[in-house]
Amino acid sequence: MPSMQSTLGESGIAEELAESQRQISIAEFFEKNKHMLGFDSGARALVTAVKEGVDNSLDACEEADILPDIYVEISENRDYYTLVIEDNGPGITKEQIPKVFGKLLYGSRFHKREQNRGQQGIGISAAVLYSQLTSGKPAKITSRTKGSSEAQYFELIIDTDTNEPEIDVEETTTWERPHGTRIELEMEANMRARQSLHEYIAETAVVNPHARIEFAEPNLDSPLKFERAENAELPAETEEIRPHPHGVELGTLLKMLEATDSYSISGFLQEEFTRVGQKTADSVIDRFRDRHFGRGMAWRPPQVHEEADVAAAVRAAVSNKGKEATKTFAGAVSDSIDDCDRVAHHEVREIVDSEADAVEDEFGTTFGSTVREKATEAAWVQLLGDGETDADRKEALTSDLYPLVDEATSTRKDDAVLQGLSERLAAKFVNSDDQRHRLTREDLGDYVARAADATEEYDDATFGDTARENVVEAIWGVMATVPDDPPTVSSIADDRDAASELLEAMRATDIMSPPTGCLAPITDELVLSGLKKEFDADFYAAATRDASVHGGDPFIVEAGIAYGGDLEDGGTVDVMRFANRVPLVYQRGACATTDVVKSINWRNYGLDQPGGSGIPNGPAVVMVHVASTNVPFTSESKDAVANVPEIESEIELAIREAARDLKSYLNKRRSMQQRRKKQNKLATILPEMAEKLASVTGNEKPNIDEAMARIMNNVLVDREVDGDTATITVENNSDRSADLELTEIVGAEPQDVNGANVVEMDGEWFIKWSPSVSSGETAELEYRVDTTAPSEISVDGIEDEKLTVQT
């Protein structure tokens, strides 16, 4: 069969292929790849559409400081399902409605570095696109802004060729809501994911306790209503932050360099990034100099080389400046160099400039740039050894390098081998094209590698990667950062290599983590409120970690646990995953949260875990929330958090913090169960013993309650009435102090009550004491009352198993 090339001819194929090329819009792309956004099946599409609509409603309400009131309804319509989502948000202006719902990648949050549920501007418009693709029907949108007398009504679809809204109907209408937005979508779907739908709505209510949500679907007799938690407030307002130096990539940095108004690198760093002040900018610039200019090798002062004479060399280099001025200048330069442990070429120049300025002031003579350059070179040559040949200089530098090489390598290396490596390194410096001995770390690594290779070849030695890196580190550590002015911003913007060096310098600098005002965590208190609102359990715990940073983006991890009560037992623990207050319904097995939960040894925390790994068993719910300016999801559908080590570590720490409270609760519960079992046995035995003891001794039968309290080390509360005086005795038989809240309800007005609050309500008097009784001590609470008045005592602040009340 002839190929296309043969049928078209070599000259025609390129033209033919060129004619077939055309640009596609983002809407057209997702029209053919809707699975990437979570619309890969009828069941999942319905869940995704609900999720996108509810997320939009929550964000809109919170941005307008409105407590969310959201209504979601799904109804069957012959072969299709109709989805309606209403909210009480601020509404959307007439001009923006078509763009928000009819244009993919249109939104206000993509460039903002602050926590948001959505950012790309794809979600709700993708639902509109799916609706029109499967049903052919337009989306119906009603929106009313606060203060408007009428609402705006649109029917629209998305033109996938242009990614622009195509409006079928545009008119004003009446709507009972004073402000808010309503969207109605008709789509091909099914209810096979009903459980996922219910889970999404319920979990949204848990993680957004400030929202009221009502949900109706065909199989419900009445809508599910999730009321907002009592006294729940809106999440803390977030603030947009600038990018962090550790979070940008090269392409982004180049764009920022081109767009900035700053002239200098220091100004650019301080103006365009967060957490960068003058000191941090200087640190970054020093590291940039190391990469861009290289460091200057610093050699030991000439006194190490006995024949070197800096003063004489400088005097010889300076002419026509007067004998005394020249002598004073040369001596000062020599003394200053001698005072240094090591000195690099640019440091010699700084010494020369400083001493030249001093001599000029003292003698009134001028030391120009040429004289200073000659003096610098003369002193530098002496530093490198005053011999006239390269061999002399090599010998001098070898004696300087040997101690560095010796200290950096293993003690098992032979001295002759170390000497050979030092000599070959010295030769590299002597033969260097840059006699100022400036090297980048990469160049220095090349020096060491070649010297080590030659030493291995000729001296029958071995220098591994670790030894080579240690030598590089030792020499790099004595080299000095040069003071050259860095290039301007515009110069670096035009030089990709220089921009890459700046990026490396930013990443190598220790910079404070980004501020967290851009995040709005749920907080421990509201995590507990959300769990208590939706789960009737015996125990709740919550933990909110301090902020951490990944890739320059701050994030906070929170965890919550509910246990016991009405939670279902006999199966695995229910793991709820959230990101920026959004439930993650799908891809559970591909999520970092699930991986971390499986990796924890839950047996240490009192839960059953067959095999010692995997999701534990028990009547419990474990929730994890990741809040970030940029949550790393595994796909565009945002169903799972990626396995980022920093995030996984914080998830584990948050879960373990909450799980430790669970462990304490379960240990205490087991202890109380054992105590209750012991008391039950005693309650069976003691009465029989009391009967026999009384019959044998002829005495009255002992008080069982008092005996029980003392045997079990309980707190005993005993009420006795003598005449019109009631006395409540609190006897602490335990090994620790007891802080009690003791309330007695009596049917007559009490008199002479000391140290208590008395409140009358509906003909009953509530007397409340708060005694603190030390171990082994007794407290007495007295008052006067009608002896015929009924009495009832309740005690808080101590477990029932550790309390005995006798009235």
* Residues in binding site: 56, 87, 108-109, 118-125, 638
Cross-sheet strand order for the sheet of 757-761: 757-761, 764-769, 741-746, 791-796
Beta-bridge partner residues of 155? 140, 169
Inter-CA distances, 384 with 309, 348, 372, 566, 707, Å: 11, 12, 18, 83, 95
Which of 160, 173, 154, 155 shows the shortest CA–CA distance to 126? 160
Whole-number Cα distances in Å, 697 to 69, 215, 686, 693, 771:
75, 73, 16, 6, 38
- Sort strands 69-77 and 212-216 into parallel, antiparallel or unpaired: parallel
For 582, the 3-state DSSP assignment is strand
Nearest to 85 by CA among 144, 123, 140: 140
- CA distances to 558, 736, 773, 794 from 740, in Å: 33, 12, 8, 10
φ/ψ region of 552 (left if φ > 0, alpha if ψ in -120 to 50, else beta) reads left
Dihedral, 494, 496, 498, 502 alpha carbons, nearest 10: 110
Report strand pairing: 741-746 vs 764-769.
antiparallel
Contact 633, 641 (CB under 8 A): yes
State the alpha helices, DSSP H only, in 698-796. Answer: 704-711
**Cα 117–120–124 angle (5° rounding)?**
75
CB 519 within 8 A of CB 628: yes
* Buried-state track 569-608, b at ≥16 Cβ within 10 A, e below 16: eeeebbbbbbbbbbbbbbbeeebbbbbbbeebebeebbbe
Distance CA 462, CA 116 (A): 56
Task: Judge whether 126 and 30 are in contact, CB under 8 Å.
Answer: yes
Nearest to 247 by CA among 512, 547, 507, 567: 507
Count of C-beta atoms within a 10 Å radius of residue 667? 12
Q: Which whole-number Å values give the CA distances from 715 to 389, 701, 702, 770, in the listed order? A: 96, 22, 18, 14
Do 532 and 640 meet the contact criterion of CB atoms below 8 Å apart? no
**Cβ-proximal residues to 498 (8 Å cutoff; 6+ apart), any chain:** 292, 487, 491, 492
Cα end-to-end distance, the chain, whole Å? 105
Alpha-carbon distances of 515 from 239, 273, 547, 549, rounded to whole Å:
10, 12, 9, 10
Question: Phi, psi at residue 350, to the nearest 5°?
Answer: -65, -40
Spatial CB neighbours of 438, under 8 Å, sequence gap ≥ 6? 293, 294, 295, 296, 297, 345, 482
Binding residues for ATP: 56, 87, 108-109, 118-125, 638
> Whose CA is closest to 625, among 590, 661, 596, 584?
584
Q: By CB neighbour count within 10 A (0-12 exposed, 13-18 middle, 19+ buried), where does 138 fall?
A: buried
CA distances from 783 to 161, 733, 750, 754, 764 (A): 87, 24, 7, 7, 16
